[in-house]
Amino acid sequence: MGSLTIPLSQLFAERQIAPCKYKVQLPNGKFQGELEIGLKFFPKVHHGVLDVHLIEAHGLLDSDALGKSDPYAAIYCHKDIQRSRVIERSLNPVWNEHFRFNVNNEVTEVLIKLFDKDDMRSDDPLGNVVIPLDKVFADGETAPMKYKVLGSKGQPQGDVSVALKFSSMD
């Protein structure tokens, strides 16, 4: 018999390849015959509920003049935003809060923005965490993991612990 190679980048980008002919290569390297084939790609659609368990953070930036931040988290999942409670005067807050988001195949990551709550002026940013969702979509859940909190210039500013769980509605 023989083999042929079909580049799949066009298939992933356009979701289909119209029928066309490919030359069949024999084990000795010579070509003999053709195979006409068309392909359609049906990606797995993620439709369900994502549970984000915001556990704690360590080593956050001290942005208050009085020595401690009052951190809270804003969790962004596609177009939905939810916010944790404020933990007063702590650089190592423990939230242990769950946030539920309805997700579909457009959602690929969760963004967590950490802030220091200020009463007299706008809240100070403490850093961001981006969590890709491919593992939780494949496995259904992830154990608690530490993610680096990155500042505006990409510098590490502590870490945050998060666990994820995905429940499919398909």
Q: CA 44, CA 51: separation in Å to the nearest integer?
A: 20
**pTM of structure:** 0.74
CB 133 within 8 A of CB 114: no
Q: CA 19, CA 125: separation in Å to the nearest integer?
A: 53
Three-state SS string over 48-102 comes to EEEEEEEEEEECCCCCCCCCCCCEEEEEEECCEEEECCCCCCCCCCEEEEEEEEE
pLDDT in tens, 40-83: 876 666 789 999 999 999 999 888 666 789 999 999 998 999 99
pLDDT in tens, 119-139: 888 999 999 999 999 889 888
Res 14 pLDDT > 80: no
Res 115 pLDDT > 70: yes
The encoded tokens of residue 11 equal 């298939």
Q: CA 128, CA 74: separation in Å to the nearest integer?
A: 10
